[in-house]
Structure 1
Amino acid sequence: MHTFFAPGLTAPIHTLPEDESKHAVRVLRLGLGDEVALLDGRGGRYHAAVADANPKRCELRIIRHEAMPPRPYFVHVAVAPTKNLDRLEWFVEKAVEIGVERITFLRCARSERRELKLDRLEKIAVSALKQSGQAWLPQLDEMTEYATFVAQAIPETTFIAHLEAGERTALAQVAGAGPGCCVLIGPEGDFTPGEITLALGRGIRPVTLGASRLRTETAALAAVFTVHIARQ
């Protein structure tokens, strides 16, 4: 069954935007009575049927609505974007498929990318939502200064994954408690000693994702996966 993203959906009739209407009618060849699935990104799953196969304004009649509750814990990753956008897009896609509530992009001292446009990443997140059947679209934050983010973080549920020497706890050992967690992932050159000190001074705890030195996007995805495993 074909799935469409329908933010702000209101029953009993939903009209697809022109680009999706054209895709539905001209490419997918959907006709009167054909059934589709709709996701509103806020926990709503809908079963619908084509009421008017107009390639400019395809109307869908809502048949059934299922409200999916949010996850009982949140997963938030704050990551320094990679210089190569393909790698960042890969992370966003896979994180949404696995399940993540929020992704914040950090501007760190060693960041390879200083600016970021969210338009394409948001489209990739929507595509991953439809492909995976997840009901909740994650929040994607604009690029945020590292110091600003750390100052606003909740220490009890925030962790920093860094590679500097010192005592660190495995994320899997601490991610299973509380309402969820936020994990900070640095750029390829890691966080600077000053950035680590700033986080620790706020009460943010240092964690490790294992013995391997991971690429930024791999570490960010590993953090998402680890939190889910810890909650099982």
Structure 2
Amino acid sequence: MQLFYNPNISDGAKEITFEKEESRHIVKVLRMKEGDSFKITNGKGSFFSAEIISASPKSCVVKIISKEKQPPLPYQLHLAVAPTKLNDRYEWFLEKATEIGISEITPIICDHSERKTIKPERYEKILQSAMKQSLKAYLPILNDTISFKDFMGFEKTFDGSKYIAHCEEDDKKSLKSVLLPKEKVLILIGPEGDFSTEEIELAKANGFIPVTLGESRLRTETAAIVACHSVAFSNEI
């Protein structure tokens, strides 16, 4: 199934005009023409079956044939992950987490962070591409980059289970052992140098439970994927 993304489709839409870049991709690259059909998602849970009625590379127009809803994830997962020193590793995390199933992502800048800036437009495109590739109808929310300290203040109202995965000696529980199906979860994943002791203590003071992701010392992006898969797997049992 060929899936396209258009965030501006309303549930009652009858006709959609794609912008120039997407129109050119449909007509010139994919060589689609009048009468050809494909699906579109608005990233908000809806799939639309569409048929091309005007195959212009500058302005491709389609009519909506039908609409269906994709059930949402049985859980809500928010991962707050420090940007990695090598940007392509963070992009890999974004792609794979979207394929597995994630609700929200926040890049957090920590005491030991080596990368302190990101390219949100680039990250958004990766999320969109991964959503389409994995045939999902929900686009994960990408929040603005925020400092660890500010994130602690922002998340005081979070009403789900909160965990921090770190490498220091501590009374830590296995993440897999504490997860419950159909719950709202927030997990903190630190930078290559791990969270600082002060950050760990601040997180614990704000209700975050220290957890371990296993015996191996994992890279930031690997730890984030292990956490994402653990939450997804806990909802398949």
TM over 0.5: yes
Aligned structure 1 segments of 4 or more residues deviating by more than 3 angstroms: none
For the 8 Å contact 2:74–2:235, the answer to whether it is kept is no
For the 8 Å contact 1:155–1:203, the answer to whether it is kept is no
Pick from 37, 50, 75: which aligns with 2:39?
Answer: 37
Pick from 183, 187, 192: which aligns with 1:179?
Answer: 183
Q: TM-score, normalised by structure 1?
A: 0.96
Provide the C-alpha distance between the structure 2 equivalents of 1:194 and 1:67, rounded to a whole number of angstroms.
Answer: 45
Provide the C-alpha distance between the structure 1 equivalents of 2:190 and 2:216, rounded to a whole number of angstroms.
Answer: 15
> Could you tell which deviates more after superposition, 1-10 or 186-195?
1-10
Provide the C-alpha distance between the structure 2 equivalents of 1:155 and 1:40, rounded to a whole number of angstroms.
Answer: 27
Provide the C-alpha distance between the structure 2 equivalents of 1:155 and 1:96, rounded to a whole number of angstroms.
Answer: 23
Q: What do the CA deviations read for 1:80-121 (whole angstroms, capped 9, x no partner)?
A: 000111101100011111110000000100001111120001
Q: Secondary structure at the match of 2:99?
A: helix
Which residue of the partner structure matches residue 205 of structure 1?
A: 209
Which residue of the partner structure matches residue 122 of structure 1?
A: 124
- Runs of 5+ consecutive residues of structure 2 not aligned to the other structure: none
Pick from 225, 228, 234: which aligns with 1:224?
Answer: 228
1:33-182 map, 5 Å: 33-153=35-155, 154=158, 156-176=160-180, 179-182=183-186
Identity %: 44
* 2:22 is equivalent to residue 7 of structure 1: no
- Runs of 5+ consecutive residues of structure 1 not aligned to the other structure: none
Q: What do the CA deviations read for 1:133-189 (whole angstroms, capped 9, x no partner)?
A: 111000001111101112232375110000110111111112215622011000011
Provide the C-alpha distance between the structure 1 equivalents of 2:34 and 2:72, rounded to a whole number of angstroms.
Answer: 33
Q: Secondary structure at the match of 1:220?
A: helix
For the 8 Å contact 1:89–1:124, the answer to whether it is kept is yes
For the 8 Å contact 2:73–2:101, the answer to whether it is kept is no
Q: What do the CA deviations read for 1:200-232 (whole angstroms, capped 9, x no partner)?
A: 111210011000000000001111000011122
Q: Secondary structure at the match of 1:60?
A: strand
> Could you tell which deviates more after superposition, 62-71 or 173-182?
173-182
